[in-house]
Structure 1
Amino acid sequence: MNRLDTLVHAPVDLSGYRLGAPQQAGALTMVPIHGPERPGIVPPRSGLKLNRVVGYGSVELHNGAPAGVAIVPLHIGYIQEGAQNHALCSAALMGAGQTRLFDDACCVQAAQGGYLEARDQWFFVLPLELRARALELRGKPGYSKLWQDISAVNARYRLPARGHLEQLLTRKRAVLTQFRSRLELLPGQLGALFFVDGRFAGLEIAPDPRYFAEMWMPLVCFAYGVAAWHAEPERTAAEPFEVDSLAALRAELTRARERRADEVLSWMPAPAQVRLTEEERYLDLRLHTVTGDGLTGQLVVEHDRPVYASLFAA
């Protein structure tokens, strides 16, 4: 396994994080990350709840866990019946039992139509094509501030040019959720590198495997799956191995996997200068926004060690 800190030049200590064998589903390649766990962080699905939508652009979340800090994932969004669907522009830190109002959320549904039924309620992460823009809009008022960008993405995918993200998330859900079944979440995995069509797309690190498991579907299917679906290549038949024994076949498979791993890791971008801007803190946890040449996102660190990371190509 390769060390993550030899590939990613980050302003935090990435020692101890290791990379597994690449997996590919169409245009989407995922490299599993294993590493040190930080216990006590409340996971997003089982511990964090959407309390209510307080008018357009204002979302109230509740950390219902009796103990533990909740890290609100970057660009998490909620689909619910009876209120317009929203996504947050920033990650956040919330103490146990805390209820917090986010008044800079983006409405991702430009009109009242298109609500899902109660049985279909779930949360998502904004698609890669919208993430850099959404991060720029953190702290800025205006519930409709992402509609123009959503319309442009829809038009690019030959959908009606409207500010309705559910045109992608629901109408294409059957296609997008195939990435979840075609890629394998490994035991103990707490992060991943994502590549789309041979280019770096994102780095995701969670506090522990349980947290990452709850983020798996929103990340694979929506944050990175939308771009991968759009870039889906034509299927071609693999060249057969010319071997005359089972031992020779195993040796060829090992060499092929090694070549593939080297190829995927060569897609990592060149080191870039990045800047950290502290957004908020809770006890020893610090939430930072990362900006740099072709890279942006957010980190949560504790004593210079990463606890959570969502960094992506800008």
Structure 2
Amino acid sequence: MSELVMLPRAIDVAGYRLGTPQQAGALTMVPVFGPSYPGIVAPRRGLKLGRVVTYGQVELANPASSGVAIVPLHVGYIQDAAQNHALCRSAFIGAGQTLRFDDACCVQESQGGYLAGRDDQWFFVLPVELRAAALRLRTQSQYSKLWNDIAAFNRGHGLPARGHLEQVLTRQRAGLTQYRSRLELLDEQLGALFFVGDRLAGVELAPDPEYFEDVWAALVCFAYGPAAWFRDAPADEGRPLRADSLAGLRAELAARRGSVADEVSAWLAAADWQPGEPVEEERYLGLRLSTVDSGAVAGQFVTDGSRLVYASLFAA
């Protein structure tokens, strides 16, 4: 496994390479390494939730003195005693600027109170099962627009069929955060492929390792973790090593890693991953934000000419 071939054809993927797959139950992560793109502010330093103006209207600011912020696609914020919100699209925010999203969605039906810029909040990325619906609802200004999809998501996992995403993200948070420790974020890693079972579920690429480190927990625990959490683990999960010497242990581990890599390569080759033709949404200087939605694959990405800067694509 070495090539990043699941992006739109117009994107130059030279310099990107895939690393050794890692597995945690039904979730498989393939690390991606590649060239960094300078001048993009990482989310924890370059994004600040200002407030929820009213339900469905969210203000984000870029407090950095220089550099543009790329808002992670489908980022959302959780805070006690307030109605939690998620964004349906990505966007650019220049240094020192504030941007209001009028097409945000509430993800906590019937909870009162507005999110404010406090230190006790944390952010997530919408579960992959909800992302295609959220993307297709971008530009629609209706705060309750995702509640039916959230209710169906909950019902599909045996939970009460309500538009309350916190039934999974908050109440199962302790279990979901295990993926952050069971899957290792590597030095210089700036992206990942995520498989749920044998299905390619997402391709996430950041401008640089700092950016990807900032969104790592939100992606692995909340975007792709729930789909894996509700599945049975592979049959050989926890299979004990049988070697009786250090040399034998190393050989067995190498063989197991090789077997997993071969299996994941077969999954990748079999994936019907065709993003479709990009539609440009927004520009910031030389950067372009585009959307793809082929029906089977959807998401957004940022380019500078043909050079890839950011991508968040997922199985629809």
TM-score (norm 2): 0.92
Report the Cα distance in structure 2 between the residues aligned to 1:309 and 1:169, rounded to whole angstroms. 23
Question: How far apart are 1:289 and its partner, in Å?
Answer: 0.2
Change (3 A) 1:53 1:273: closer
User: In the TM superposition, what are the counterparts of 1:235-250 in structure 2 within 5 Å?
Assistant: 236=236, 238=239, 247=247, 250=250
Percentage of pairs with the same residue = 62
Report the Cα distance in structure 2 between the residues aligned to 1:205 and 1:10, rounded to whole angstroms. 16
Aligned residue among 294, 297, 301 for 1:292: 294
Report the Cα distance in structure 1 between the residues aligned to 2:222 and 2:300, rounded to whole angstroms. 18
Is the aligned partner of 1:43 residue 2:42? yes
Match of 1:224 in 2: 224
Is the aligned partner of 1:209 residue 2:209? yes
Is the aligned partner of 1:279 residue 2:281? yes
Report the Cα distance in structure 2 between the residues aligned to 1:271 and 1:119, rounded to whole angstroms. 39
List runs of 5+ in structure 2 lacking aligned partners: none
Report the Cα distance in structure 2 between the residues aligned to 1:245 and 1:167, rounded to whole angstroms. 46
Match of 1:25 in 2: 24
Structure 2 counterpart of 1:27, which letter?
Answer: A
The total of aligned residue pairs comes to: 312
Change (3 A) 1:182 1:248: closer
Is the aligned partner of 1:56 residue 2:58? no
Question: How far apart are 1:115 and its partner, in Å?
Answer: 9.5
Question: How far apart are 1:167 and its partner, in Å?
Answer: 1.0
Q: SS at 1:21's partner residue?
A: coil
User: In the TM superposition, what are the counterparts of 1:117-132 in structure 2 within 5 Å?
Assistant: 120-132=120-132
Question: How far apart are 1:46 and its partner, in Å?
Answer: 2.1
Change (3 A) 1:25 1:104: same
Is the aligned partner of 1:159 residue 2:159? yes
Question: How far apart are 1:239 and its partner, in Å?
Answer: 6.6
Report the Cα distance in structure 2 between the residues aligned to 1:239 and 1:83, rounded to whole angstroms. 46
TM-score (norm 1): 0.92
The 8 Å contact of residues 61 and 97 in structure 2, kept in 1 or not, is answered as yes
Report the Cα distance in structure 2 between the residues aligned to 1:56 and 1:8, rounded to whole angstroms. 35
Change (3 A) 1:234 1:274: closer
Change (3 A) 1:279 1:273: closer
The 8 Å contact of residues 6 and 274 in structure 2, kept in 1 or not, is answered as no
The 8 Å contact of residues 55 and 114 in structure 2, kept in 1 or not, is answered as no
Change (3 A) 1:57 1:266: same
Report the Cα distance in structure 1 between the residues aligned to 2:11 and 2:219, rounded to whole angstroms. 23
Q: SS at 2:267's partner residue?
A: coil
Question: How far apart are 1:10 and its partner, in Å?
Answer: 4.0
Question: How far apart are 1:126 and its partner, in Å?
Answer: 0.3
Question: How far apart are 1:51 and its partner, in Å?
Answer: 0.5
Match of 1:65 in 2: 64
Change (3 A) 1:7 1:60: closer
List runs of 5+ in structure 1 lacking aligned partners: none
Structure 2 counterpart of 1:89, which letter?
Answer: C
Question: How far apart are 1:84 and its partner, in Å?
Answer: 1.4
The 8 Å contact of residues 81 and 115 in structure 1, kept in 2 or not, is answered as no
Match of 2:260 in 1: 260
